[in-house]
């Protein structure tokens, strides 16, 4: 099994902790002038998304996690799983609701997402930073009101509910930032 020594620790490194794949968010080298050195790390568990803090005695080795972030095209949902395809190898993977989690409401067919694979199996899905969605349900638009003040909820074709300005109407295409869930502009 591949492993990393603490002196190879850097943010983004994928390691195995208690059997779960984790990603290092922050690594701090702590050492008294005379005495034991430590690596104090902040880690995200890639399966649960939970952030934890751990300290290693410097020089320790930690098992590497075979985790790859892969750009994949979202194909369709068959009611149970979301299907993604690698754009070059055409290899397909299916991710269930636990894996897709909150990303589900941003997934539009044909969009390219980042699918995180652990030992070849998907463990998380990250939607594109911006998606174009079609409004399917909202209060009637107020023409001429471009102030942006106020706003109203709008339901989109993916099921996402986004707060939009008053002038947005059913059938409009809008650009949304998936990281914040906020409306950006009309598309």
Partner 1 sequence: MMVDWRPSASSATLVIRARLLQRIRAFFQARDVLEVETPLLSRAAATDPHIESFLVQDPLGGTPRYLHTSPEFAMKRLLAAGSGSIYQVCKVFRQGEAGRRHNPEFSMLEWYRPGFNHLQLMAEVDDLLRELLDDYLPLADTSRLTYREAFQRYAGIEPLMASIPELQATVRQQGIDITGLDQQQKDPWLDLLMTHVVEPALPQDGPVFIYDYPASQAALARIRQGSPQVAERFELYLGGMELANGFHELTDAAEQRQRFTVDLASREASRLACVPMDERFLAALESGLPACAGVALGIDRLVMLAAGVKSISEVIAFDDEHT
Binding site for partner 1 (CB under 8 A): 7, 27-38, 40, 52-60, 62
In the complex, least distance from residue 102 CB atom to partner 1, rounded to whole angstroms: 27
Hey, how many other C-beta atoms are within 10 angstroms of the C-beta on 129?
Answer: 12
In the complex, least distance from residue 121 CB atom to partner 1, rounded to whole angstroms: 26
For 172, the token pair is 């409009």
Instruction: Look up tokens 């030992």; give the residue.
Output: 119
Nearer to partner 1 among residue 31 and residue 179 (C-beta): 31
- Report, in this order, helix, strand and coil percent for the chain, each rounded to 5: 5, 50, 40
51-57/38-45 β-pairing: antiparallel
Nearer to partner 1 among residue 53 and residue 182 (C-beta): 53
Nearer to partner 1 among residue 42 and residue 86 (C-beta): 42
Nearer to partner 1 among residue 28 and residue 145 (C-beta): 28
CA separation for the pair 105, 182 (Å, rounded): 13
In the complex, least distance from residue 123 CB atom to partner 1, rounded to whole angstroms: 22
């Amino acid at each position: 099994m591949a492993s990393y020594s603490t002196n190879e620790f850097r943010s983004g490194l994928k390691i195995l902790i208690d059997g779960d794949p984790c990603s290092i968010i922050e690594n701090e080298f702590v050492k008294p002038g005379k005495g034991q050195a430590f690596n104090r790390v902040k880690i995200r568990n890639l399966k649960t998304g939970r952030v934890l803090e751990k300290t290693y005695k410097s020089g320790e080795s930690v098992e590497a996690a075979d985790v790859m972030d892969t750009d994949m095209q979202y194909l369709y949902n068959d009611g149970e799983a979301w299907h993604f395809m690698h754009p070059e190898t055409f290899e397909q993977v299916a991710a269930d609701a636990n894996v897709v989690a909150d990303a589900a409401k941003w997934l539009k067919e044909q969009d390219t997402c980042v699918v995180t694979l652990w030992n070849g199996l998907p463990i998380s899905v990250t939607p594109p930073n911006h998606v174009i969605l079609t409004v399917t349900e909202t209060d009637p638009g107020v023409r001429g009101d471009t102030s942006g003040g106020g706003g109203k909820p709008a339901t989109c074709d993916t099921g996402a509910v986004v707060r939009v300005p008053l002038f947005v109407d059913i059938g409009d295409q809008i650009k949304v930032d998936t990281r914040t869930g906020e409306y950006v502009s009309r598309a």
